[in-house]
């Protein structure tokens, strides 16, 4: 088993919302490159290494998929690289080795397909947003409508899927609960993070009163409490998976994608909080 986990650099506490600066993005890309290089230097023996790039929110589910897949493919070594979808896309565009991409950002996948780098992307999972608060819930938030009670709200940047979906969801909230609600919520945002794990970490560390994350990221943490978002306001995240056209392991890549869509693969994804396709 060869698992490589890459997260974008944490931005720490912020006095005002911040987006990903150019220097930090370069650092993140450099970090991914370094880890990829490290992954390639493992001695695979007789095993065929398949390098899978995946969105951060897929971490635990894909690690279990890897374990189960390798049981039925003893000559395969699945190497997982997790990061924000925008970092993974840039790495692929810059020629980094990869065989499969799984992302929650349809726009990134579409760009790579149009440029001829990925082909035949398929929807393999769905997710949804939830509101999370610390276990002691200092702001007294009990329902989604209580969100303006938060003094410190953390969300994802518009550069990452969770941030884009959060923006869409808050637009829906404004239509349903009024523009005052939407404006109050936006005024409570104190930090914009570069992947969903960093968003969740702010609540786990007690430096935020609330955050908006994927349900899959909430269910695996014992340091946060989840609050559902009304279905007529919430949005679903759609996850795509596709082969890299320059992959030298096309059959194995196809087998991995087939497995994620199989009943066994879907069962694993559902167990980790994803919605069946």
Are 277 and 126 contacting, i.e. CB atoms less than 8 angstroms apart? Answer: yes
pLDDT(16) > 60:
no
Backbone angles phi, psi at 248, to 5 degrees: -100, 10
pLDDT at 159: 85
Same domain, 122 and 134: no
CA–CA gap between residue 132 and residue 225 (Å, rounded): 5
**How many domains are contained in the chain?**
2
Same domain, 198 and 69: no
Same domain, 228 and 244: no
Q: Which domain holds residue 47?
A: 2-126+239-271
Residue 143 lies in a domain: yes
Same domain, 144 and 228: yes
Residue 203 lies in a domain: yes
DSSP class of residue 275 equals B
Percentage of residues of the chain with pLDDT beyond 90: 76
Are 83 and 7 contacting, i.e. CB atoms less than 8 angstroms apart? Answer: yes
Same domain, 172 and 110: no
Please name which of 164, 212, 165, 159 lies closest in space to residue 21, comparing C-alpha atoms: 159
Same domain, 25 and 57: yes
Please name which of 171, 167, 172 lies closest in space to residue 155, comparing C-alpha atoms: 167
Q: What is the pLDDT of residues 5-15, one digit of tens each?
A: 443 333 333 33
Q: What is the pLDDT of residues 184-199, one digit of tens each?
A: 999 999 999 988 999 9
pLDDT(70) > 70:
yes
Are 200 and 131 contacting, i.e. CB atoms less than 8 angstroms apart? Answer: no
Residue 74 lies in a domain: yes
pLDDT at 21: 44
Same domain, 45 and 117: yes
Please name which of 179, 171, 182, 172 lies closest in space to residue 147, comparing C-alpha atoms: 182
The more confident residue out of 23 and 272 is: 272
pLDDT(43) > 90:
no
Same domain, 176 and 42: no
Residue 118 lies in a domain: yes
Please name which of 271, 241, 267, 274 lies closest in space to residue 256, comparing C-alpha atoms: 241
Same domain, 51 and 121: yes
Q: What is the pLDDT of residues 44-63, one digit of tens each?
A: 567 999 999 999 889 999 99
CA–CA gap between residue 249 and residue 49 (Å, rounded): 8
How confident is the model over 86-92, as a mean pLDDT?
93
Cα of first residue to Cα of last residue in the chain, in angstroms, is 28
pLDDT at 45: 61
Residue 189 lies in a domain: yes
How confident is the model over 58-72, as a mean pLDDT?
97
How confident is the model over 83-87, as a mean pLDDT?
86
Helix 106-114 and helix 85-93: axis angle, to 10°?
Answer: 10
CATH of the domain at 53: 3.40.190.10
Are 81 and 87 contacting, i.e. CB atoms less than 8 angstroms apart? Answer: no
How confident is the model over 134-160, as a mean pLDDT?
96
Please name which of 9, 1, 22, 90 lies closest in space to residue 53, comparing C-alpha atoms: 90
Q: What is the pLDDT of residues 28-39, one digit of tens each?
A: 444 444 444 444
Residue 276 lies in a domain: no
How confident is the model over 103-118, as a mean pLDDT?
94
CA–CA gap between residue 246 and residue 250 (Å, rounded): 9
CA–CA gap between residue 95 and residue 104 (Å, rounded): 21
Same domain, 186 and 82: no
How confident is the model over 233-245, as a mean pLDDT?
96
User: Does residue 82 sit in helix, strand or coil?
Assistant: strand
Residue 277 lies in a domain: no
Same domain, 228 and 243: no
Same domain, 139 and 249: no
Residue 208 lies in a domain: yes
Question: Both tokens of residue 36?
Answer: 């990829």
User: Residues with Cβ < 8 Å from 276, sequence gap 6 or more?
Assistant: 126, 266, 269, 270
pLDDT(231) > 90:
yes
Helix (H), strand (E) at residue 163: helix 161-177
Are 237 and 126 contacting, i.e. CB atoms less than 8 angstroms apart? Answer: yes
């Amino acid at each position: 088993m060869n698992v490589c986990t890459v997260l974008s650099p944490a931005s720490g506490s912020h006095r005002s919302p911040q987006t990903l600066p150019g220097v930090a993005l370069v650092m993140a890309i450099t970090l991914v490159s370094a880890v990829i290089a490290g992954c390639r230097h493992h001695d695979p023996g007789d095993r065929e290494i398949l390098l899978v790039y995946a969105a951060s929110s897929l971490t635990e589910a894909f690690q279990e998929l890897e374990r189960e897949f390798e049981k039925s493919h003893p000559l395969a070594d699945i190497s997982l690289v997790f990061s924000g979808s925008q970092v993974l896309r840039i790495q692929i565009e810059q020629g980094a080795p990869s065989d499969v991409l799984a992302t929650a950002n349809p726009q990134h996948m579409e760009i790579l397909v149009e440029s001829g780098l990925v082909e035949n992307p398929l929807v393999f999972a769905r997710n949804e947003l939830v509101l999370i608060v610390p276990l002691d819930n200092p702001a007294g938030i009990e329902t989604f409508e209580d969100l303006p009670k938060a003094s410190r709200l953390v969300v994802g940047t518009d550069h990452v899927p969770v941030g884009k979906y959060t923006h869409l969801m808050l637009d829906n909230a404004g239509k349903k609960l009024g523009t005052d609600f939407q404006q109050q919520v936006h005024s409570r945002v104190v930090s914009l993070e570069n992947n969903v794990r960093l968003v969740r970490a702010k609540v786990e560390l007690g430096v935020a009163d609330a955050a908006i994350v994927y349900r899959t990221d909430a269910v695996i943490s014992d340091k946060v409490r989840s609050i559902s978002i009304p279905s007529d306001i919430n949005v679903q995240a759609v996850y795509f998976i596709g082969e890299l056209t320059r992959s030298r392991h096309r059959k194995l890549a196809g087998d991995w994608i087939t497995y994620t869509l199989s009943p066994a693969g879907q069962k694993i994804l559902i167990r980790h909080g994803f919605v069946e396709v």
